[in-house]
């Protein structure tokens, strides 16, 4: 019998109204929204459900996305679903921490609220991110190294899609070089900063100061780190990896391939959008992918997955 992994998307999938039907139908989801509001000092339900521009600003996006993902997770847990593994892309790794029960949810929300603020504050003027399509990641990484200025790989998403990040001038120069080397397209991303770049190392260090005061628990569900693309061996590694994650490359493809090698054949994407499902089709078409974004999506889940 195969294994099931819960996977969680990162920033970029957010929209006004996300998670509303879960909030209205399930007390477990409302409880999570209440805890997120208490921990962050924000009205997270209003942030997620009422028309506003803040939802697309990093310091608010992160707490909004995480709240929805954890709310959906808790409903699935209440229904008896438990994963064999968990992983999340960038911000989504914090929802994987919730699935692994490593941190109290209020502490989790507090940390992510601070993470969003630190990342927003650290954003330098002139940063950029660009998705490189149709070129292998080794060529992309080498071109970044050879480009003058600060530019590096932000996300190894899937075969044929790698994101670069750094100073706008260096990102543009690397993009032009990558077109010469055969990239099909270079698509500038609408982001508020050069995320997962060494330029945000200071934000990670500030996050480390917050994490220093947070108590952690034993890892109950194996989860993977974006930094290593592998399972986190024990609790003692958690904080250091979260600090590094802010300014390190996201090794998402490696995370997925590692889980498949470990016997995972069903992936449940929990949260807004279907970005990870799209990546999955390019990583491995032989696995089953289920999206849980709306309450009606719960009907897609196999009864065999319940405890």
Q: What is the DSSP letter of 4?
A: E
Which of 227, 256, 58, 49 has the alpha carbon at shortest distance from 157? 256
Task: Compute how many other C-beta atoms are within 10 angstroms of the C-beta atom of residue 183.
Answer: 24
Element counts in the chain: helices (H) and strands (E): 12, 10
The string over 100-119, giving b where at least 16 C-beta atoms fall within 10 Å of a residue's C-beta and e elsewhere, is bbbbbbebbbbbbbbbbbbb
Helix (H) or strand (E) holding 132: strand 127-133
Please state, in angstroms and rounded to a whole number, the distance separating the CA atoms of residues 111 and 210.
Answer: 7
Task: Compute how many other C-beta atoms are within 10 angstroms of the C-beta atom of residue 217.
Answer: 12
CB 65 within 8 A of CB 291: no
**Known catalytic membership, residue 90:** yes
**Known catalytic membership, residue 248:** no
Could you give the angle at the alpha carbon of 88 between the alpha carbons of 192 and 166, nearest 5°?
30
Query: Which listed residue (37, 196, 225, 247) is catalytic?
Result: 196
CB 226 within 8 A of CB 252: yes
Please state, in angstroms and rounded to a whole number, the distance separating the CA atoms of residues 67 and 135.
Answer: 35
Which of 21, 4, 188 has the alpha carbon at shortest distance from 99? 4
CB 292 within 8 A of CB 268: yes
Query: Which listed residue (13, 37, 40, 90) is catalytic?
Result: 90
Helix (H) or strand (E) holding 206: helix 201-211
The residues carrying an active-site annotation are 90, 196
């Amino acid at each position: 019998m195969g294994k099931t992994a819960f996977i969680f998307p990162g920033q970029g999938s957010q929209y006004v109204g996300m998670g509303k039907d879960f909030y209205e139908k399930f007390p477990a989801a409302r409880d999570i929204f209440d805890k997120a509001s208490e921990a962050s000092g924000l009205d997270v339900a209003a942030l997620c459900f009422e028309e506003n521009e803040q939802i697309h600003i990093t310091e608010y996006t992160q707490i909004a996305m995480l709240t929805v993902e954890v709310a959906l997770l808790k409903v699935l847990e209440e229904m008896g679903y438990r994963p064999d593994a968990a992983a999340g892309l960038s911000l989504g790794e914090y929802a994987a921490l919730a699935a692994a029960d490593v941190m109290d949810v209020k502490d989790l929300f507090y940390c992510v609220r601070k993470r969003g603020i630190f990342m927003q504050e650290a954003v330098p003027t002139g940063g950029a991110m660009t998705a490189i399509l149709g070129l292998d990641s080794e060529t992309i990484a080498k071109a970044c190294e050879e480009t003058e200025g600060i530019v590096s790989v932000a996300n190894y998403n899937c075969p044929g899609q790698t994101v670069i990040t750094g100073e706008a001038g260096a990102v543009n120069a690397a993009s032009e070089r990558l077109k010469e080397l055969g990239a099909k397209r270079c698509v500038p991303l609408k982001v508020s900063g050069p995320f997962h770049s060494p330029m945000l190392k200071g934000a990670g260090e500030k996050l480390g100061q917050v994490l220093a005061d947070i108590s952690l628990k034993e890892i109950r569900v194996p989860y993977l780190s974006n930094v290593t693309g592998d399972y986190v061996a024990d609790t003692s590694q958690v904080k250091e990896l979260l600090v590094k994650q802010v300014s390190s490359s996201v090794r998402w493809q490696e995370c997925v391939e590692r889980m498949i090698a470990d016997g995972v054949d069903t992936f449940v994407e929990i949260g807004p959008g279907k970005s990870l499902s799209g990546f999955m089709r390019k990583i491995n078409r032989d696995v089953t992918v289920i999206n849980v974004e709306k309450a009606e999506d719960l009907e897609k889940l196999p009864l065999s997955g319940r405890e």
